[in-house]
Structure 1
């Protein structure tokens, strides 16, 4: 190609070369990788409230002393004795817990009506200020309600093991009728006479105990838990002293409409030493109540 024609082509093509170069730069810029999208960190799920209700029966044995109108009787009755002789076969209990994370509110209600005859009740003594001898004890009938309420907090967790502390109140309501055989020397001025029996009636007796305690929970497997609870109370504010120990095993066996059902088996012991009044007004309940517990729990 002649030099003149070569210069003419270069002059005509130069603008297009510039445009192509600019376009290539723009295209390269357009093809550059887009900046990475920001990754959102999911928020931790907030603790939610769960509610558990457990109705169950407590097969009670009684060991201790009951004093009504200054007459003291020694009581030694197994739960088989109570089952055979009582108006109610078992103590009916309802336990409830409302939990949110480590914090929980709990409540517990027991009602029972127990009747015992002379095979399990023995005359023991008269209170100071009550004259006369002691007639043979024929029977003892006790109606009792126990209501607990309080709060618990999980202070430590090590794998499947959780440790709670708890505090609350335990309210007691009782009324007792002690039937004695009328014998020479028995003072009956403050007793109701029914045939050959003299009946000492306590009327309604109520008191309130503060309590503090702890609970250990151990997850054996998903849906299976061992638990042990202990508390002490009274401290002279209501009773002189009381203590409780309750251990058991809970196991899930099904879920229906979002409600998880569990079985509960265990053993509970509750002891209290309460007294009020003097002489013929003396009422005392120094008793250990203990026995197996069976129930079904619903959690939702």
Structure 2
């Protein structure tokens, strides 16, 4: 009987302490951040298409070459909506690359190939550890891909021709993120995700590391390295590509 009374008293005290702490802490509010960024990745891998005279296109180009091969203004932006320990995290990337195509001037007088990549990521995250100087989050979500390959052949013995093929799909993802403050303004962030699992891609994974500097309470500058990899085959069209290079981002919180 005494033991039961002690247990009831202990549970009551814990409940009262938790309620008092909850009352002393302000309720969470919604916060948002938008982070446009510039990413200059080197590109390595293979795009396999059913297009005649093209077949496999191997890519192994440095970041500088990628910039010169851009055929349209790229779009790169990330964002986050947070409510206490919960967050919705998104990222959008678009780029179009164009390269000359050597036809050996037999049937056509050269040409070019254009590969357009559109990648969108959406995750739900929960903060497991929230200490004054560090935090750990885990989450799950999806990454949506779209690749379009366009081949233009200049007229020669054969008339000019334009051929196009496309591939779109979505991958399930699991993700984790860690951040630690090294000083009141400097911090380090590490992020990783993995997915596909043959539900979309055979495998996709991403790793990001950055050094962060808080310019103000609402503005943060990030400089780091990002690698994004995907391996997907669908019939006669497939991609096996790796994007890897430095990035710089400006995050605005409100």
TM bin, normalised by shorter chain, reads 0.7 to 0.9
1:150 aligns with 2:123: yes
Aligned residue-pair number: 224
1:248 aligns with 2:210: yes
TM-score, normalised via structure 1 length: 0.68
1:83 aligns with 2:64: no
1:195 aligns with 2:155: yes
Note the C-alpha offset of 1:177.
2.1
Contact 1:163 1:216 in 2 (8 A): yes
Note the C-alpha offset of 1:218.
0.8
Moved over 4 A (4+): 196-200
**Equivalent residue for 2:242?**
288
1:225-264 matches, cutoff 5 A: 225-254=187-216, 260-264=218-222
TM-score, normalised via structure 2 length: 0.79
Which structure dedicates a bigger proportion of its chain to strand?
2
1:57-206 matches, cutoff 5 A: 57-69=38-50, 71-88=55-72, 91-117=74-100, 139-157=112-130, 160-178=133-151, 193-196=153-156, 201-206=163-168
- Segments of 5+ residues of structure 1 without an aligned counterpart are 1-39, 122-134, 180-192
Note the C-alpha offset of 1:51.
0.8
Note the C-alpha offset of 1:264.
1.5
d(CA) in 2 for partners of 1:202, 1:284: 14
Query: CA 1:99 to 1:163, structure 2 compared with 1: closer, same or farther past 3 Å?
Result: same
- Three-state SS of the structure 2 residue aligned to 1:204 is strand
- Segments of 5+ residues of structure 2 without an aligned counterpart are 1-19, 103-107
Contact 2:88 2:123 in 1 (8 A): yes
1:299 aligns with 2:249: no
**Equivalent residue for 2:34?**
53
Contact 2:80 2:90 in 1 (8 A): yes
**Match of residue 268, structure 1, among 226, 232, 236:** 226
- Three-state SS of the structure 1 residue aligned to 2:24 is coil
Query: CA 1:239 to 1:201, structure 2 compared with 1: closer, same or farther past 3 Å?
Result: farther
Deviates more, 1:59-68 or 1:151-160: 151-160
d(CA) in 1 for partners of 2:243, 2:80: 23
Note the C-alpha offset of 1:108.
0.8
Query: CA 1:245 to 1:164, structure 2 compared with 1: closer, same or farther past 3 Å?
Result: same
Contact 1:273 1:285 in 2 (8 A): yes
Query: CA 1:94 to 1:143, structure 2 compared with 1: closer, same or farther past 3 Å?
Result: same
**Equivalent residue for 2:176?**
214
- Three-state SS of the structure 1 residue aligned to 2:201 is coil
- Three-state SS of the structure 2 residue aligned to 1:294 is strand
CA distances 1:42-83 after superposition (whole Å, capped 9, x unpaired): 732112221111011111211011111161121101111111
